[in-house]
Amino acid sequence: MATSRTPRETAAAGTTRPRTARGGSGGRGTDGQRGTGGAHRGHPKRNVLITGVSSTVGRHLAMHLAADPRVGFVLGTAPGPRPRFLAPLDPARFLYIPTDILRPRQVRDLFHRPEFTEHGIDTVVHLAFVSHPNLRGRKVHRLNVEGTKGLLDRCMESGRVRKFVFKSSDAVYKLDPTTPVYLDENADLNHDPLADQWIQDRVAAEMICRSRMDSQGMDVVILRFASIVGRNVGGQMNAYFDGRVVFRALGYDPLLNLVHMKDVIEAIRLAIVTDTGSGIFNIAGADTATVSTFAEMNGRRCIALPDPLLEFVNRAMRRVGLTDYYYSVDRDRMRYTCLLDTTRAREILGYQPTRTIEFAEYRGLEG
């Protein structure tokens, strides 16, 4: 959608590709992670468990992996009966088992089922995480944080799982006036106790995953995604740009990066099939632009309001059903640019975004 520019040129022109190279990252990874310094791809087929397979990302991932020759078998779990959209998948390649990860007995039974052991499930992709900020409270926190911990502990105790992949978000980063334009995986996280629960739960779940990275026998991989957009994606930026009017903070027009669903699936696939060791990887999309530029591209009117009014206006719009967007989650993002340095993902995973966000064919964000 645009060509690469320096951050200064970007601010002037309003759109650019994300920078994917910013110095090497060999030897040990960031935050004391062990890294391979490169990908080793000559390994047997992976056999994958996907939690939260009923989510939009889970559905796309299951369909993709079930057709991938580098994957032997896919086991999908979520609470409740098998979703209809999974019906076309080949039963020789995919099996759905209803499981609530907050019920330890169900999780234990899952790991002892013949299908789990006979197919040699060796990789777990954890997507059972509440994605929409309108769902909050103690029950949501239990799923997001305690569910992650319980599943991770069960994976380690099984002795069979060799890799645990956790889908996180760039929302975990701390943003303030001193934040550099590009953030690598060593950047500070947002531990503010007053931060929105949507952010706090992601930071807490990440810290649990990071505490297991030095364990022997299982690699823990965290993928921090930029804002994911696409049809049926319950994401913040989908809700934000699909509003009839896009409000931004007066005096601010930060750069945003949006990542296409197909690039999301490719990044997770690479994390599954690549021998990475434990580590954290920033995953960005191909398109970067200012808030006002994306709004214009989507045919939306962009209005600047004083920052103190934005949360009040946003709350009123939610109350009357005009938006599903939560300004409280993105208060800092709407003032300070947060772009991801994806050097590690490029050099170790071999990840490179290829899909641009198309606004013309669908009035709304197309996935």
Helices (H), 119-245: 138-141, 147-158, 197-211, 236-242
Among 314, 218, 228, 210, smallest CA distance to 267 is for: 228
What kind and span of H or E run contains 319?
helix 307-319
202 within 8 A of 140, measured Cβ to Cβ? no
So what's the pLDDT on residue 307?
Answer: 87
So what's the pLDDT on residue 215?
Answer: 83
Residue with tokens 């790991």: 111
Q: What is the dihedral of CA 341, 343, 345, 347, to 10 degrees?
A: 180
So what's the pLDDT on residue 328?
Answer: 87
Exposure of 281 in the CB half-sphere (CA atoms within 13 A): 32
So what's the pLDDT on residue 42?
Answer: 52
* Dist CA 3 CA 10 (whole Å): 10
31 DSSP assignment: G
| Sequence-distant (≥ 6) Cβ neighbours of residue 118 within 8 angstroms | none
- 225 phi and psi angles, rounded to 5 deg: -90, 145
Burial class (CB in 10 A: 0-12, 13-18, 19+), 282: buried
* Per-residue pLDDT in tens (0 to 9) along the chain, 367 residues: 443 333 333 433 344 444 433 433 333 334 434 333 333 445 689 999 999 999 999 999 999 999 999 999 999 999 989 999 999 999 999 999 999 999 999 999 999 999 999 999 999 999 998 776 666 778 888 889 999 999 999 999 999 999 999 999 999 999 999 999 999 999 999 999 999 898 999 999 999 999 999 888 999 999 999 998 877 676 788 889 888 889 999 999 999 999 999 999 999 999 999 998 999 999 999 999 999 999 998 888 999 999 889 989 999 998 998 888 889 889 999 999 999 999 999 999 999 999 988 754 344 444 3
So what's the pLDDT on residue 71?
Answer: 96
299 within 8 A of 241, measured Cβ to Cβ? no
274 within 8 A of 317, measured Cβ to Cβ? no
* Dist CA 110 CA 143 (whole Å): 17
260 within 8 A of 355, measured Cβ to Cβ? yes
CB atoms within 10 A of CB 65: 28
The encoded tokens of residue 225 equal 């995604």
144 DSSP assignment: I
267 within 8 A of 349, measured Cβ to Cβ? yes
In the chain, what are the domains?
A: 19-231+260-288+337-349 (3.40.50.720)
User: What's the pTM?
Assistant: 0.86
* Dist CA 101 CA 218 (whole Å): 20
